[in-house]
Structure 1
Amino acid sequence: MIITVVFSTHNGAGTLPAMLAKFRELTMPPGTELQIVAVDNNSSDATGDILRTASADLPLTAIRHGERGKNRALNAALPLARGELVIFTDDDVLPDPNWLVALQRAAAENPGFDIFGGHIIPHWPSPPPRWITEQTPLGITYALTASHLPAGEIFPGLIWGPNMMVRRSVFDAGLRFNEAIGPSSGQYIMGSETEFNLRAHRNGHRCYFAPDAKVQHIIRPGQMSKQWVVQRAYRFGRNAWNQYVSGAEKFNGPTLLGMPRWRFRSYLDHACRALLLRLRNRADDAFAHDWEKSFLRGYFAQWWQTRRSQPLPTATAK
């Protein structure tokens, strides 16, 4: 059996050396061969040189894709993937030595499942402040999994890009990543793996969580600023509106021009709560409401952008 690991990197020189060092420590499942396909997604730093150097002692093929966009890069890599199992990750993860063994075992023991995920644990550059640990949704913001998730079937939206495996048969059936969303330049729409997994699930592909398959997600100092976190909330809001339009999220109640009216009330509520907390000198406590406000701004922005080009959703009971 061949296992293929695919990742895209844009200006990843700061994290790639540590990641590739961990790749050299991976334990291979018996009777398997590793193939790594790395896509340099239009980097302007030393990423290309790092990948070329790594190919000397890793089974790594590096290609360059000049058009920005993680999903474009991943789709460009898929024709090169020879593995029956295709593992996707990011350029800022530190895999556990047993990572491949755990994912291959999960696939072998659960033939009725086609998409697999595992734990994603933070690798903080310094102890995070309270406003991050208590006021920020860590899963959405840093793609960290909840520590209590057990082995077994899982909701497709809870398998994320740093630690995700797909049987090749899913791609042979024609599914590809949506190139209109995912990491790119500007205020891109988050949720590319979530969108792919939900779409695959609607086509009958079930998702499984393997808690023994672990990676650490490198959190960089700049990703611990309030500005960076609220930008993530905005991008997530854009994705959430798309999920609502697609029917993946359903709400019961009245709408205004297709927008659930309670969303407007929610924005005003969070704005008032944030203001009151700041007047009481509790800025850290106000941050949870700042996050929700930014999320809703992204939600409203995507609604306004798409409402003329897509059918308006109707309020539907869950």
Structure 2
Amino acid sequence: MFNARRGDEPPGLDLSVLIATRSRADSLERTLGSMAAMDTDGIRWELVIVDNGSTDRTSELLLEWCSRLPLRSLHVPESGQNRARNTALPGLRGRITVLSDDDVCVASDWLRQWKQGTDRWPDDAIFGGRIAPRFPADCADWIRSDRFPFRAQCFAEFQPTQGEGPYPRTPFGPNFAVRTDLLRAQPFRADLGPAAGTYAMGGETELTLRLKAQGHRVIYLPGPCVEHVLAPENLSLDKLCQRGFNAGRGDEYRRAMRGAWSRPVLWLRSKLLMPAKIGIYVAAQQLASLFALPMDRRFARQYRVHSARGRLHQLRLMLGGGPSRGAPA
């Protein structure tokens, strides 16, 4: 059940901001501080935070901040960002649900831009806002460079060059909004998205593709902007390659859900095609090191190896059967 910290909000609100968090109290506190500094005059909103099994001071932090923000909290101990989000959906009171994260800093006009932007497109239901990465001061130049490959997958960067309006691809990450009634009817898949250990990445992408297949379109709104604050420990080569592995798992998962492969084809991909592709990528990675290519190009080859290994891992899980092992439910 929801723990209603404040009971004076009207039953119908403009916006619900939904965040799932797990043991990142310091980062969450920075996010809450940026939200407390927003200009929200005239905007009816709520902040719902799902504590997804934190073992640090997150619960105490939420108690501290409930007097400064229209904050309600929910505790879901079982790991899984999308499972936590789905648990919160029945209690949301905003017409629009803005999905964010515990490692962002929002602009002072963030909610105002969301309110005005979604009001301009009353017949649409899926919206993506701008996400700019904030790198630590000591970040390597080749990582922060615009030439860095896979910026979306590694940094959750989302900065299309087009203006406001229909967007042909899929938004993702910590600045994504859906009309609440539609999100309740079509929730996230609980077996996708961040969880303890490795996981199949792409919960927002899967949801958006599913809704687009039903006739909905995506609207890009450049006005509502967040900075995604990148922790130094998440920019190590091991962590960046881990994201490649998780992204590969998610790509293969979505292919299977679309019915792209029959079971014999899945078996063939797992036994022959993906191992062969991994071998090719490993050879390309070794050649890149041998010829001392620039670091960004060497990383691109390393990332592709891990992405292909993630695909192979997901294929084997799906052939093993059962949603708990990674198969589509």
Q: What TM-score results when the alignment is normalised by the length of structure 2?
A: 0.85
Answering whether residue 281 of structure 2 is matched by residue 273 of structure 1, we say no
Q: Using a 3 Å threshold, how does the CA distance of structure 1 residues 147 and 206 change in structure 2: closer, same or farther?
A: closer
1:228 corresponds in structure 2 to: 239
Answering whether residue 189 of structure 2 is matched by residue 211 of structure 1, we say no
Answering whether residue 99 of structure 2 is matched by residue 92 of structure 1, we say no
1:75 corresponds in structure 2 to: 86
One-letter amino acid of the structure 2 residue matched with residue 152 of structure 1 = G
1:257 corresponds in structure 2 to: 267
Answering whether residue 124 of structure 2 is matched by residue 124 of structure 1, we say no
1:243 corresponds in structure 2 to: 254
How many aligned positions are there? 304
Note the C-alpha offset of 1:282: 4.1
Instruction: State the alpha-carbon separation in 2 of the partners of residues 171 and 108 from structure 1.
Output: 18
2:177 corresponds in structure 1 to: 165
Contact 1:103 1:116 in 2 (8 A): no
1:137 corresponds in structure 2 to: 150
Answering whether residue 17 of structure 2 is matched by residue 5 of structure 1, we say yes
Contact 1:37 1:80 in 2 (8 A): no
Q: Using a 3 Å threshold, how does the CA distance of structure 1 residues 223 and 63 change in structure 2: closer, same or farther?
A: same
Note the C-alpha offset of 1:237: 0.2
- Name the SS of the counterpart of 2:25 in structure 1: coil
Answering whether residue 204 of structure 2 is matched by residue 193 of structure 1, we say yes
Instruction: State the alpha-carbon separation in 1 of the partners of residues 254 and 45 from structure 2.
Output: 35
Q: Which runs of 5+ in 2 are unaligned?
A: 1-12, 323-329
- Name the SS of the counterpart of 1:84 in structure 2: strand
Note the C-alpha offset of 1:180: 0.9
Note the C-alpha offset of 1:29: 6.2
Contact 2:19 2:49 in 1 (8 A): yes
Give percent identity, aligned residues only: 27
One-letter amino acid of the structure 2 residue matched with residue 257 of structure 1 = W
1:313 corresponds in structure 2 to: none
1:314 corresponds in structure 2 to: none
One-letter amino acid of the structure 2 residue matched with residue 35 of structure 1 = E
Instruction: State the alpha-carbon separation in 2 of the partners of residues 302 and 278 from structure 1.
Output: 28
Once the two structures are superposed, residues 282-313 of structure 1 have per-residue CA deviations (whole angstroms, 9 ceiling, x without a partner) of 47232110000000000111112213549xxx
Contact 1:29 1:100 in 2 (8 A): no
Note the C-alpha offset of 1:147: 4.9
Once the two structures are superposed, residues 154-206 of structure 1 have per-residue CA deviations (whole angstroms, 9 ceiling, x without a partner) of 2352x11300111122034x211111111111111111111111112222222
Once the two structures are superposed, residues 13-65 of structure 1 have per-residue CA deviations (whole angstroms, 9 ceiling, x without a partner) of 121121111111212263x3111111111100111111110001111011211
Note the C-alpha offset of 1:277: 2.2
- Name the SS of the counterpart of 2:299 in structure 1: helix
Instruction: State the alpha-carbon separation in 1 of the partners of residues 152 and 71 from structure 2.
Output: 30
One-letter amino acid of the structure 2 residue matched with residue 12 of structure 1 = R
Q: What TM-score results when the alignment is normalised by the length of structure 1?
A: 0.88
One-letter amino acid of the structure 1 residue matched with residue 232 of structure 2 = P
- Name the SS of the counterpart of 1:160 in structure 2: coil
2:30 corresponds in structure 1 to: 18
1:304 corresponds in structure 2 to: 316
1:146 corresponds in structure 2 to: 159
- Name the SS of the counterpart of 1:188 in structure 2: coil
Instruction: State the alpha-carbon separation in 1 of the partners of residues 156 and 148 from structure 2.
Output: 16
- Name the SS of the counterpart of 1:190 in structure 2: coil
Instruction: State the alpha-carbon separation in 1 of the partners of residues 195 and 100 from structure 2.
Output: 16
Once the two structures are superposed, residues 77-109 of structure 1 have per-residue CA deviations (whole angstroms, 9 ceiling, x without a partner) of 112210111111000110111111111122111
Contact 2:136 2:232 in 1 (8 A): yes
- Name the SS of the counterpart of 2:195 in structure 1: coil
Contact 2:25 2:58 in 1 (8 A): yes
Note the C-alpha offset of 1:127: 5.1
Q: Using a 3 Å threshold, how does the CA distance of structure 1 residues 237 and 29 change in structure 2: closer, same or farther?
A: farther
Note the C-alpha offset of 1:135: 4.1
Q: Which runs of 5+ in 1 are unaligned?
A: 311-318
- Name the SS of the counterpart of 1:277 in structure 2: helix
Q: Using a 3 Å threshold, how does the CA distance of structure 1 residues 156 and 49 change in structure 2: closer, same or farther?
A: farther
What do you get for the CA RMSD once the two structures are aligned?
2.3
Contact 1:139 1:146 in 2 (8 A): no
One-letter amino acid of the structure 1 residue matched with residue 116 of structure 2 = R
Q: Using a 3 Å threshold, how does the CA distance of structure 1 residues 127 and 136 change in structure 2: closer, same or farther?
A: farther
- Name the SS of the counterpart of 1:242 in structure 2: helix
Contact 2:139 2:232 in 1 (8 A): no
